[in-house]
Amino acid sequence: MPNPSTFSTTFTIPYHYHYHLEPTINNHHHHHHVHIHPPSNLPNYTRHITTHNSSGLATIHSSSPAQWTQFEQGTFGFSVAYTTNAFPADLNNNTDINAHESLMTGNTLGLVNPNGTVCRVVDFAPDREPLMHRTRSLDYGIVLEGEIIMELDSGEKTLLKKGDIAVQRATMHAWRNPSVLFTPEIRLSLGVSPLCMIARDMGCDPVFAL
C-alpha cells in the first residue's frame, strides 16, 4: 500500500488506490479544459461579491459568470465560486478578495485551501467509475439536482437526493452518479487540523495520518 507521506496522485490514478492527498486541480499535469458553461444542461450561475463603499455602505464589488474546469473527458466538472486563505477571514480593505484573485491567477489551488475555505460547484457525470479518496478538510456537500451515491471505504453506500447534505469529515469516500443526467453539488471545504486514524486501540498509525 502506498505511503501517503510520499505518494503523489492525480485524477488519473486507478480506482483501487485509496490515497488522494491534496492534488493541485488546476495545473497543466491534468487533463482539463476551461469552459464558461457547466458540463450539465443546467443554467450557469453568476457569482455576486459584496463589499463596502467609501461611506461604509454595502455595494456590489463584482458579478461574474462561473467558469468551469472539466476533467477526465467530462467525467466531472469543477467551478470555484470563492476561496479564503484564513479562518476567520480578513475582510478589511478587501484583503480576502485580493487573496482569492491572486490564488486563482496563480493557478495553484488544490482540492483544499489549507487554513482557509473553498466554495465550489461540482458536476458529476452519470455512469462513471468513482474515485475513492480523502482530503484534509471538513466538507459540506449539498445536492442541487438529481441523486448521487456516497460510497465509503467500509462498504457503506448512502443515496443522497436533491436537497440532501453530506458532512464529509476527512473520510475515505467516492461519489457515484446512478442516474442518466449530471448531478451538481455545492461543496464547501474547510481546512482542518491533521488527523490520525486510530484502530483497535493501537494508537495513531502514521500511515493513516492526513
Asked whether 19 and 9 are in contact (CB, 8 A), the reply is: yes
The model carries a pTM of: 0.79
Distance CA 31, CA 70 (A): 8
Which residues does 188 contact at the CB level (< 8 Å), separation at least 6? 117, 118, 119, 139, 140
Residue 107 has pLDDT above 60, yes or no: yes
Using alpha carbons, select from 145, 142, 134 the residue that is nearest to residue 195. Answer: 134
Average pLDDT, the chain: 81
Which residues is 159 bridged to in the sheet? 149
pLDDT at residue 1, rounded to an integer: 35
Q: What share of the chain is helix, strand, coil (3-state, %, to 5)?
A: 10, 40, 55
pLDDT band at 198 (very low <50, low <70, confident <90, very high): low
pLDDT in tens, 23-63: 334 333 444 556 667 777 778 999 999 999 999 999 999 99
154 vs 12 pLDDT, higher one = 154
Give the per-residue pLDDT at 71. Answer: 81
Q: What is the pLDDT of residue 205?
A: 54
Show the domains of the chain with their CATH numbers. Answer: 32-208 (2.60.120.10)
Mean pLDDT of 84-105: 95
Pick from 31-40, 69-78, 92-101, 157-166: least confident: 31-40
Q: What is the DSSP string of 130-158?
A: ---B--SEEEEEEE-SSEEEEEETTS-EE
